[in-house]
Structure 1
């Protein structure tokens, strides 16, 4: 004869408990139980503190309830933002607050502030960050991508060469359509280090397919160390190069970060000191 073991469940909060007064200890236990059942971890962890504050400030029942619910909503929004930032795959943490605008006068803080509102992502427009190594391109790319993730957009970061290699492998495994669709679904695709290495014709054509899939639907942001005139070294087919430039610039924003390396200047200043 077999016996089935069942997990013990917490007793329900009875109507009699709801009708009659509770001691503080019993009320806390009831709240803890209800929060577990309803999956409200923030209210469960902050209830006592918020209740004490409400009593001290003589808050109304409605005000107290609003404080509890807003705390839960705010914490859920924070956790969702953190999940989207992790899913983006940024190689390191960068923020606009941590960007030194004084060190690079080529970059207008007001322009970056406008981009941080992410209207360009909402409208599916491209963004190009063009400049020499060490001028802040990758920092701004990651920081603006992070802002987009915090505002609820799905973001994916990748290096240009890594993306091309992934597309080539997908094509060889007959998974190209699936891979292109996956990159096509995100709201913002951040492609870093475009122009650092020459791409063969096949790799360039596969990258072009990703850009075409996203054209006028979802945003692409790129960081490149070379101006558009120099992209023929990366995309050796002139027609293909022109088509890619067109897709990455039409209706979008172009930020030129200049030629003076912040990292080099910082290193020289440190050595001088």
Structure 2
């Protein structure tokens, strides 16, 4: 009776991790040979772990990262001017906590999106909120928000994110309204939250891409001042991966033919 009452109280208090740990202890009678303090510490530890995992899952779901990637799986063998020391520093996420920006540029297929998502994943694992968006998708969401009256709510969500990842920067020419919307997003986040830009367009061409000199100056001043930069190079990793798969297949066929 007392045990059932305890279970109900744990559920009422939403101590799910502690409840599961208690059930595990009951299923393992040898656990009761341990001192009470140690068994209680195990219950608390499981509750903390449960809450951390639940929060991480929520943050990853909200982030909507384009690919599953983590910093531990970064390929440094592919020649693309990516230094371990730079990535190790970025993986600590201090730049996010200090509201600094990061710009990742390089040719198609060099892994810009993958690296952006890996850093987004790392930020989530450190308890930071992240949102991944392709720049064309952001512009479309803002266009719809202007029309249905949800613009203030959308801007509030964008402002609250510790890290906003904007991928595919520079793929499509901006309209006047898109330039204004981008200025508003960058302005509201400037000095408050971090933005990560991933683009195959070199930074020296961003002013021309934005199009209107006054707004371009204002946007880039806020975006690039004090920003961290990763300038990747080299051949497409997708191409080399495809060639490697093809080579393995040909080797296999030649052996088995």
TM range (shorter): 0.7 to 0.9
Cα distance change, pair 39–56 in 1 and its aligned pair in 2 (3 A)? closer
Matched, 1:212 2:206: no
1:51, distance to aligned residue in structure 2 (A): 5.4
1:104-159 CA distance string (max 9 Å, x none): 44111221121111111111110111111111111111111111122111211111
Q: Distance in 1 between matches of 2:247 and 2:130?
A: 41
Compute the RMSD of aligned alpha carbons: 2.1
Hey, what does 1:7 align to over in structure 2? Answer: none
Q: 1:130–1:255: 8 Å Cα contact kept in structure 2?
A: yes
Cα shift at 1:53? 6.1
Larger Rg: 1
- Tell me: CA distance 1:48–1:175, structure 2 relative to 1, closer, same or farther (3 Å): closer
TM-score where L is the length of structure 1: 0.83
The structure carrying a bigger helix percent of its residues is 2
Distance 2:148 2:23 in 1: 56
Greater Cα shift, 196-205 or 217-226: 196-205
Unpaired runs of 5+ in structure 2? 249-257
Provide the C-alpha distance between the structure 1 equivalents of 2:62 and 2:32, rounded to a whole number of angstroms.
Answer: 41
How far does the alpha carbon of each residue in 1:176-232 deviate from its partner, in whole angstroms, 9 at most, with x for none?
Answer: 333222211211111111011111122112111100000011101110111112224
Q: Which residue of 1 aligns with 2:144?
A: 169
Pairs within 5 Å for 1:176-187: 176-187=151-162
Task: Go from structure 1 to structure 2 and tell me whether the alpha carbon gap of 1:177 and 1:39 turns closer, same or farther (over 3 Å shift).
Answer: closer
SS at match of 2:188: helix
Aligned to 2:237: 262
Give the secondary-structure state (helix, strand or coil) at the position aligned to 1:113.
helix
In structure 2, the partner of 1:23 is: none
